[in-house]
Amino acid sequence: MSSFVAPFKNQQYFDLKNYCIKNKKLFEDPEFPANNSSLFYRQPPQSSVRCVMESR
């Protein structure tokens, strides 16, 4: 069984990583944008998500 994974759309991980580090930029994937359409099938849930910390 091989552990080789073909690059998606010929993207090379280390080239992308080095480019981002050199240019002080975060990687932005055009195929998976950071917006609600990438995270939800239709619309975001009505309730808001919040972090709750337990106090002792």
- Compute the CA torsion angle 39, 40, 43, 44 (nearest 10 deg): -60
d(CA 49, CA 13): 32
Residue 25: other Cβ atoms inside 10 A: 9
What is the pTM (predicted TM-score) of this model? 0.52
Q: What is the pLDDT of residue 26?
A: 93
| Per-residue pLDDT tens digits for 8-56 | 888 899 999 999 999 999 998 888 888 877 777 776 666 666 667 776 6
d(CA 51, CA 54): 10
Q: What is the pLDDT of residue 51?
A: 66
Q: Are 38 and 32 in contact (CB under 8 A)?
A: yes
pLDDT exceeds 90 at position 2: no
